[in-house]
Amino acid sequence: MTDREDERPCGPATAGSTRRGVGPGEAQDAPAATSAEDRGGSVRMAAPGGGPSAVTSPPPTRSGRPAHPWRRRLVLAAAVVGLAVGGYVFLLPRVETMLNTVSTDDAYVNGHVTLVAPRVAGQVAEVLVDDNYRVRAGDVLVRLDREPYQVQLDIKAAAVAAAEADLAAARAEVRSLVAQARANRFQLQHAIEDVNARVADLRANVASLESRTATLELARHNLERGEELARTGGISKEELDRRRQEVRVDEAAVNQALQAVYACRVGLGLPEEPPEGHDLAEVPADLGQQFSAVRQGLGQLLQSAAQFGYAPTSWDVTPDQAIAEFYKQDPGGDLDKILARLIPDAPPIKQAEARLLRARRELAQAELDLRYCDVVSEIDGLVTRRNVNPGNNVQAGQGLMAVRSLTEIWVDANFKETQLADLRIGQRVRCEVDMYGKRREFEGRITGFTMGTGQSLALLPPQNATGNFVKIVQRLPVRIELTGYDPAEAPLFVGLSVVPYVYYKEPPTGPHAGEFLQPPHALPQAPTAPVVAGPSQSVAPPPGGVGPP
């Protein structure tokens, strides 16, 4: 029997291997021989008589057609499915990203940095932090020597105490000025009364003159009758001489009374002889207001009142007008209320209050200088670039270190000018940071465009007005604010490389969405003039107020 006739399949699980036929004497051993499977592509045959089996090489398979064609189809299908899944998982997101976003690899993390500098000069006593320390706003970073500023604080405190004593003395001085003004007021009234008394004396002297004149007229008539009687011998010569003597005495008395009237008129500032048609006793109606002594008393009164801040509307007023105007300052004419309003504004008190205010401001400055000996952090962040040590003498404004913010972080993406047409404020941005790779992505939004390209804002901008010019695509910095950024979970460091993807086909959201430029912000306006606190705003009157003496 040929090999071809004796070949039979070994079983459905074999990979094309066959088993060689056996003779009649070996038929009883066939089941044992067929139960063994070739592990190396050969078949173990049972030896005659139960002896050791002999290993024979498998016969070659037929090359006409494959033994199992469904396996190749299965592998091909698996490859197609794998390519499809791989394309869906890896290739499709990249294609969608390319079609729906604008990106650049020229982007970096940026953030605010605050330079730490002392506000006062001094010697460094202690440095409490080092590079990479995490600090919070208000933490003390450096301490300066406080002793010189403590001495200045004590000096300014003593100056404030002296200024307060000066203010108390000024208030007492104003009270004395008020008392002097009231005394001058009574002196003015006394001057008016003295004028009225002089007018009364004038009128009494005029009456005495008229009486003496009448007596003189009677004596003259008696003398005339005596002379007529003497010619007829009706009276004696002695009687005639006596009547002549009475006339001369009466004439002297009239002259004396007339001189007294003249003296009164001159004392009142009037001429000796009144104008024609006027009587000697006649005086001007306003003589009591215009008399020189009265005007002098009014001047003294106004002088004393001016020292505590009162001034009349006109200096050409009579005493009655000046007094009436003074009392008009209060509707009820209450002198105490008028003085209580005038005394706090008296020039001596104002000067003392100004000195006290200055002393208090200097004391406040000394307190600030002492407090500034503790150099604190103004923001939360990390300490960098420390360049100060204990014992250094530093000046105000000298940089000691820097604190970089951990939360105020953004991305500056330098997009090409050809990519800016579709970018707007509020568009969503997905950022891939080289530090984290695909493991971590950050979300953000566009918040603004820098008003100038990188070259135009450089320290030395290029000058293109030359004969040879090569056009270079410019890049414009675009600011991207991160949303939901938590530095404790995944911190970003300034200067890290970022690849931002701007989804320009999605509608922008947030403030100023869809704009190129932000609108003007409502910022406070600077005052047109500096606001200076007056003494009345800082210096309180003593308990009980200030009243008239």
Indicate which CATH number applies to the domain containing 133. 2.40.50.100
Q: Where are any strands of DSSP class E within 369-470?
A: 374-376, 381-384, 393-394, 401-416, 428-433, 441-449
pLDDT tens-digit readout, 466-519: 667 778 889 999 999 999 899 988 999 999 999 999 999 999 999 999 998 888
What secondary structure letter does DSSP report for 42? -
269 within some domain: yes
128 within some domain: yes
- Output the domain CATH number for residue 495: 2.40.30.170
Handedness of CA 292, 293, 299, 302 (dihedral sign): negative
Provide the token pair at 316: 């050409």
Percent share of the chain, pLDDT over 90:
38
3-state secondary structure of 278: coil
Same domain, 273 and 287: yes
Residue 163 CA to residue 160 CA, distance in Å, equals: 5
19 within some domain: no
pLDDT tens-digit readout, 151-164: 999 999 999 999 99
**What's the pLDDT score for residue 529?**
66
**What's the pLDDT score for residue 545?**
40
3-state secondary structure of 12: coil
State the total domains in the chain: 3
Q: Supply the range of the domain harboring residue 328.
A: 149-345
141 within some domain: yes
Same domain, 250 and 198: yes
In this prediction, residues 305-310 reach a mean pLDDT of: 84
Same domain, 302 and 160: yes
Same domain, 394 and 469: no
Q: Where are any strands of DSSP class E within 177-291?
A: none
185 or 97, which is more confident: 185
Same domain, 178 and 313: yes
Same domain, 170 and 307: yes
129 within some domain: yes
Same domain, 127 and 255: no
Residue 173 in this model has a pLDDT that exceeds 80: yes
**What's the pLDDT score for residue 16?**
39
238 within some domain: yes
- Name residue 290's amino acid: Q
40 within some domain: no
Pair 44, 38: CB distance under 8 Å: yes
In this prediction, residues 174-185 reach a mean pLDDT of: 88
Lowest mean pLDDT among 347-361, 471-485, 524-538: 524-538
358 within some domain: no
- Output the domain CATH number for residue 201: 1.10.287
Same domain, 445 and 482: yes
Same domain, 453 and 431: yes
Same domain, 327 and 427: no
In this prediction, residues 325-333 reach a mean pLDDT of: 85
Same domain, 196 and 329: yes
Residue 509 CA to residue 425 CA, distance in Å, equals: 8
Residue 510 CA to residue 425 CA, distance in Å, equals: 8
Same domain, 393 and 339: no
pLDDT tens-digit readout, 428-464: 999 999 998 877 899 999 999 998 887 787 777 777 7
